[in-house]
Structure 1
């Protein structure tokens, strides 16, 4: 018996909301990206390693110098954390 694969296409709106409220992306931040992603952030020492948590739609949630804090915040917000490299 041969099974036929079915593919459903997501609309752009559906794709934009994929993982919303369920997934949080964690990534190391480059100093030059901080003001773009976190415009309210104060001036930060460029030698610090910084980590950010973003919602699935790219909404910035947290900026910290402690990577573990991003996982704690994701858990607090009931988000499944995914690391981006």
Structure 2
């Protein structure tokens, strides 16, 4: 029983985590405009003081940045991505 608990506590390696979802799973993260500017420095003219929504692949790769949760969900559905819930 102790061996089983030890296996459950084992952390995923970086490469194992990067492969998670296999291009089929994504998550949506709410960002402030400042956070979005740091994550997406090539995007100019981001409005100040609003929340934005970033769609990420399971490995953390940013896929899209939108101004609404519905648009982020629409992008994920259009790419046939399953949305994972983050806790």
- TM-score, normalised via structure 2 length: 0.74
Quick one: higher RCO (CA 8 Å, sep 6+), 1 or 2? Answer: 1
Match of 2:72 in 1: 70
Spell out structure 1 runs of 4+ moving beyond 3 A.
7-12
Q: What is the DSSP-based 3-state SS (H/G/I as helix, E as strand, rest coil) of the residue aligned with 2:21?
A: coil
Q: What is the DSSP-based 3-state SS (H/G/I as helix, E as strand, rest coil) of the residue aligned with 1:51?
A: strand
- TM-score, normalised via structure 1 length: 0.75
Match of 1:37 in 2: 39
Show structure 1 runs of 5+ residues with no match.
none
CA RMSD of aligned residues (A): 2.6
Match of 2:84 in 1: 82
Structure 1 residues 70 and 83, CA gap change in structure 2 (3 angstroms) = farther
Show structure 2 runs of 5+ residues with no match.
none
Deviations 1:3-25, CA, capped at 9 Å, x for gaps: xx6x5975542222111311111
Structure number with the higher helix fraction is: 2
